[in-house]
Chains A and B, each alone.
Chain A
Amino acid sequence: MTLLEVRGLKTHFFTRQGVVKAVDGVSFDLDRGETLGIVGESGSGKSAMSLSLLRLISPPGEIVEGEVRFDGVDLLQLDEAQMQTYRGRHMSMILQDPLSSLNPVLTIADQVGEGIILHDRIRGEKLQRRLIELMQLVGIPAPETRLGQYPHQLSGGMRQRVVGAISIACRPEFLIADEPTTALDLTIQLQYLNTLKDIQRSENLALLLITHDLGVVAKMCDRVAVMYAGKIVETGTVEDIFDRPKHPYTVALLNSAGSLDKVERLNSIEGQPPSLADLPPNCAFYERCPVRFERCLTPEVPPLFELAGGQQARCWKHE
């Protein structure tokens, strides 16, 4: 059952250096209860894409075209007031930096409860019970005390859990997690991911997990989309991507990550991705590609080629 359909989404930033095409025609589907991993180097447009889904792109950025169908409704056609009833209520997001994601002058209860008061209109006793329930759900000990405290009184891991609690406070159907664990210690990362996975199962959440950590992908995801220079260059199931990568960029990513048992960052591919303000007319990976051939020079971006088992790859090899 498809919850989210994204079609041809383009988000551009109109800067002085030119038009930065951060998201340049992204399409994908996401079912209830499914986890889709979005993988790519920093600068590939992952985060701009996720913010676009919530329509939280501020100037100079702008969603230029595309469709974001949520439960059949195209979010890009809604006005801002209607969109507000979707944010927090139906769809939500966990930001990557727990240290700066909480307002320093409001208590934890204020911040976790805000969305609930807004969307579900619960107050008093009932709200308090709900808050405690939420805090327990994300694994925060002594919730009654914690609720009355301010962010600076909590550790980094606790704050990340609070951010998680805020995001799922209104039981959204769709959750985006943008690098949810990069700011955490290794041991806490694992705990946190387990919590996230449990919540996803119990609430039947559609989860979009943005990361550059292939270990996290292997642990958490059903399907994977690899992003490069604002486009999806390969999608498939986790098994497909890890065992039978079809795009040379994916191959390079996997190689650079080394053994998957170790949690490592992917960043050591030769060369730099092209500037999003000045994309070449041909395949954007051409400059760094180890298997390029003449076809790749044609001034045309390769389309996503359908392969066996629903796998897709944006590479002329599969023409």
Chain B
Amino acid sequence: MTIAEIARPRSTRHPKVRSRRQGLPWFAIIVLGLTVFAAAFAHLLSPYDPNIMSLGSRLKPPGWIGPDGLHLLGTDSIGRDLFTRICYGARVSLLVAGIGVVFGGGMGLIVGIVAGYLGGRIDSVLMRLTDVFMALPSLLIALVFVMTVGPGLVTTIVALSIISWSRFARIIRSEVLSLKERDYVLLARVAGCSPLRVMAVHILPNVTNTFVILCSLQVSELVLTESTLSFLGAGVPPPTPTWGNMAADGRDFLSNAWWISVAPGLALALVVYSFNAFGDWLRDKLDPRLKQTR
């Protein structure tokens, strides 16, 4: 006996389902909006240059007013303004994670569709390949890749694509397997459409929802990985500010200038939380079946 049974006349929805559905995740949207804004207009938001040293204003606490003006979040060990660097760091984080997810997702999308649709030997080869990437620690893969090729912005993006494609491939493949049996796909095959055309015209549009959801869920992980790589010195190399290498810089000054590590980490946690919340919301909204994909 469910309430659905009782309340059938007006609404077939179980009230519990109702209350579980949430409104827009406003906090997350605001955080992400501000972050994008800061990233886009970093050069306008702050009068300081992110990379110019100023030994006179080393290790100053948040709110310090120097000869050149207010340092909202303080300065680091060589006198650079932290707020400025965090804004520029947002640029790097969003750019790297965004491009990484698009590349990796695109790769996974293609692999998933091809493997799922063509099946057979191609499928098993591709799936064994995804097995390997799913089984290994993503950070290790990225580290090994960066070490082999040498660190840099492009390397980092490629590394992130390499670690993110397999999950896309796996989930999209299973989606395609069921789509393949749908009538309109069968019909298209009977009508003599080439496999390429069927995949592009009949399959691809039907997995876009899943793709978008996966992208939004994956971004937070890539932001985290990027910052961890940078923290370990295997991401975007200094002096380019990233939240990861800023936090690493601050490690040596924990006893006298805690803010150097605290500020970028907080920014990171907020952004990751927001991406998570937004991705969850998007998934619940578009496709609750994907519940288990995290």
**A–B direct touch in complex (beta carbons closer than 8 A):** yes
The count of residues in chain A whose C-beta lies closer than 8 Å to any C-beta of chain B is 25
A152 to chain B, nearest CB (A): 22
Given A45-B6, A272-B9, A273-B9, the answer on whether A15 and B15 have CB atoms closer than 8 Å is: yes
Interface membership of A47, Cβ < 8 A: yes
A43 and B9: CB pair below 8 A?
Answer: yes
B10 and A277: CB pair below 8 A?
Answer: yes
How far apart are the CA atoms of A124 and B6 in the complex, in Å?
Answer: 44
Given A43-B6, A273-B9, the answer on whether A15 and B1 have CB atoms closer than 8 Å is: no
Contacts of A45 in B (CB 8 A): 6
A275 and B3: CB pair below 8 A?
Answer: no
A61 and B3: CB pair below 8 A?
Answer: yes
How far apart are the CA atoms of A42 and B19 in the complex, in Å?
Answer: 24
How far apart are the CA atoms of A22 and B5 in the complex, in Å?
Answer: 10
Interface membership of A16, Cβ < 8 A: yes
B15 and A60: CB pair below 8 A?
Answer: yes
How far apart are the CA atoms of A13 and B286 in the complex, in Å?
Answer: 29
B7 to chain A, nearest CB (A): 5
| 8 A Cβ contacts from B111-158 to A | none
Q: Which of A15, A48, A61, A274 contacts B9 (CB 8 A)?
A: A274
How far apart are the CA atoms of A302 and B39 in the complex, in Å?
Answer: 69
Minimum CB distance partner of A210 in chain B? B1
Q: Which of A22, A50, A272, A278 contacts B6 (CB 8 A)?
A: A22
| 8 A Cβ contacts from B1-56 to A | 1, 3, 5-11, 15, 18-19
B1 and A13: CB pair below 8 A?
Answer: no
B3 and A22: CB pair below 8 A?
Answer: yes
How far apart are the CA atoms of A275 and B4 in the complex, in Å?
Answer: 11
A28 to chain B, nearest CB (A): 18
Over the window 26-53 of chain A, the binary record of Cβ atoms lying under 8 Å from chain B Cβ atoms (1 yes, 0 no) is 0000000000000000110111101100
Over the window 119-148 of chain A, the binary record of Cβ atoms lying under 8 Å from chain B Cβ atoms (1 yes, 0 no) is 000000000000000000000000000000
Contacts of B6 in A (CB 8 A): 13, 20, 22, 43, 45, 48, 276
Q: Which of A17, A47, A96, A178 contacts B7 (CB 8 A)?
A: A17
Contacts of A17 in B (CB 8 A): 7, 10-11, 15, 18
| 8 A Cβ contacts from A265-279 to B | 272-278
Chain B interface category by residue count: 10 to 19
Contacts of A275 in B (CB 8 A): 7, 9-10
How far apart are the CA atoms of A13 and B16 in the complex, in Å?
Answer: 11
How far apart are the CA atoms of A22 and B6 in the complex, in Å?
Answer: 6
Q: Which of B8, B9, B15, B19 contacts A13 (CB 8 A)?
A: B15
Q: Which of A20, A50, A96, A273 contacts B3 (CB 8 A)?
A: A20
Given A48-B1, A51-B1, the answer on whether A16 and B15 have CB atoms closer than 8 Å is: yes
B1 and A178: CB pair below 8 A?
Answer: yes
Contacts of B8 in A (CB 8 A): 42-43
B231 to chain A, nearest CB (A): 43
A210 to chain B, nearest CB (A): 9
A276 and B1: CB pair below 8 A?
Answer: no
Minimum CB distance partner of B8 in chain A? A43
A16 and B19: CB pair below 8 A?
Answer: yes
B7 and A15: CB pair below 8 A?
Answer: yes
Contacts of B15 in A (CB 8 A): 13, 15-17, 60
How far apart are the CA atoms of A300 and B263 in the complex, in Å?
Answer: 67
Given A275-B10, A277-B10, the answer on whether A43 and B19 have CB atoms closer than 8 Å is: no
Minimum CB distance partner of B4 in chain A? A43
B30 to chain A, nearest CB (A): 26
Over the window 150-189 of chain A, the binary record of Cβ atoms lying under 8 Å from chain B Cβ atoms (1 yes, 0 no) is 0000000000000000000000000000100000000000
A170 to chain B, nearest CB (A): 23
Given A51-B1, A178-B1, the answer on whether A276 and B18 have CB atoms closer than 8 Å is: no
Contacts of B10 in A (CB 8 A): 17, 275, 277-278
A178 to chain B, nearest CB (A): 7
B7 and A277: CB pair below 8 A?
Answer: yes
How far apart are the CA atoms of A51 and B6 in the complex, in Å?
Answer: 13
B23 to chain A, nearest CB (A): 13
B108 to chain A, nearest CB (A): 34
Contacts of A20 in B (CB 8 A): 3, 6-7
Q: What are some 30 contacts across the A-B interface (CB < 8 A)?
A: A13-B3, A13-B15, A15-B3, A15-B15, A15-B18, A16-B19, A17-B7, A17-B15, A17-B18, A20-B3, A20-B6, A22-B3, A22-B6, A42-B5, A42-B8, A43-B7, A43-B8, A45-B6, A46-B1, A47-B5, A48-B1, A51-B1, A96-B1, A178-B1, A272-B9, A273-B9, A275-B7, A275-B9, A275-B10, A276-B9
Q: Using CB atoms and an 8 Å cutoff, list the residues of chain A in contact with chain B.
A: 13, 15-17, 20, 22, 42-43, 45-48, 50-51, 60-61, 96, 178, 272-278
Other than A16-B15, A275-B7, give 11 A-B pairs with Cβ distance below 8 A: A15-B18, A17-B10, A20-B6, A22-B3, A22-B6, A43-B7, A47-B1, A272-B9, A275-B9, A276-B9, A277-B10
